Amino acid sequence: VIREKVQDGETGETREISYTQCKIVGNGSFGVVFQTRMMPSNEDAAIKRVLQDKRFKNRELQIMRIVRHPNIVQLKAFYYSNGERKDEVYLNLVLEYVPETVYRASRYFNKLKTTMPMLEVKLYIYQLFRSLAYIHSQGICHRDIKPQNLLLDPTTGILKLCDFGSAKILVENEPNVSYICSRYYRAPELIFGATNYTTKIDVWSTGCVMAELMLGQPLFPGESGIDQLVEIIKVLGTPTREQIRTMNPNYMEHKFPQIKPHPFNKVFRRAPHEAIDLISALLEYTPTQRLSAIEAMCHPFFDELRDPNTRLPDSRHANGSPRELPDLFDFSRHELSICPALNGRLVPPHARPALEARGLDIDNFTPLSKEEMVARLD
């Protein structure tokens, strides 16, 4: 049993935790992730250990401490530990443990030579948009949306966004690096080297994830930055001068091969019309033309989730019984303040009583101001 003095993820208060049986479940350029068993509760937790530069505050820790949402992995606690060398300090983030990922779920259907059932696609993409609507309203951009960073609890169908290692609060007129985001999911403005991009880069990535779940393979599988752009052009067609200007005005002089768009209904054969309509509203060259996350949640593609009679078929077990959908409408006051005009569409009638019981009446609602919603780092 290992004991650690930790700071609480929410309050920062010091307490002690005990855990046993550490096994490495992931590692990357950032560090390692262990799966542990917390004592005495016997709950699993993940500990993400990253090398901490003493000169800087850790941005991931700062952001994890201010995001609290049912579709975002929760920071339980954090502590510092010494590394091999005497001047090395590691930051340890104690996170809730979620067993599966959308990436692995998608591979599972691939091996069966089939694609994910459309209801599952709806369930996961809706919850991803819900997490993004929340962080985007705080001014936070995740900057690394991909199937590997979407955790899944297969028993409940709940999705949780994880890995805020690239996340940043975007401030207007402050430049940001363009070399973030994983290759297949990078928005075209990033490929064009834009430094003034917005949270709409996460919306593009989500469109790529949705397309991948429907196709069983990445929609834009480029080998390099430019190759990536070629893959996008093969589907969307060559961007117009005006579209290029909205992504990065410095590229106006470039000549691109003139390619006609490949219609989405030919890319996604057998896909329902609503799915194609949503994807085409996410994968737009011009960032301001893309739907916002909260607008996307209201799209008719997700209406099946708003139907109180919808059940989740248990596709993994031959004789599994249909299950209730997880609660998709337990919105907070913060969430209902993002775009109050959409609340009538966001909250289906059957979900209203539960909100009203929590003092949230959407017909008679005082939203938080933008200032109250935006995250500030101390």
End-to-end CA distance of the chain: 35
CA gap 113, 101 in Å, rounded: 19
CA gap 265, 217 in Å, rounded: 17
Q: List, in sequence order, the alpha helices (H) in the chain.
A: 59-66, 102-111, 118-137, 188-191, 200-215, 225-236, 241-247, 264-267, 273-282, 293-297, 303-306, 333-336, 343-346, 352-357, 370-373
Active site residue 144: yes
3-state helix, strand, coil in the chain (%, to 5): 35, 20, 45
CA gap 172, 194 in Å, rounded: 13
Residue 324 main-chain phi, psi, to 5 deg: -65, 150
SS3 per-residue string spanning 140-178? EECCCCCHHHEEEECCCCEEEECCCCCCEECCCCCCCCC
Residue type, 210: M
- 8, 144, 361, 363: which is the annotated catalytic residue? 144
CA gap 108, 116 in Å, rounded: 9
Structure tokens, 136? 């985007």
Cβ neighbours, 10 Å, residue 81:
13
Q: List, in sequence order, the alpha helices (H) in 39-175.
A: 59-66, 102-111, 118-137
Q: Is 200 annotated as a binding residue?
A: no
CA gap 202, 136 in Å, rounded: 9
CA gap 168, 176 in Å, rounded: 9
Beta carbons within 8 Å of 81's beta carbon, 6+ residues apart: 4, 49, 89, 90, 92
Q: Containing H/E element for 45?
A: strand 44-52
Structure tokens, 285? 């060259």
Residues classed as catalytic: 144
- Which residues are part of a known binding site for ATP? 48
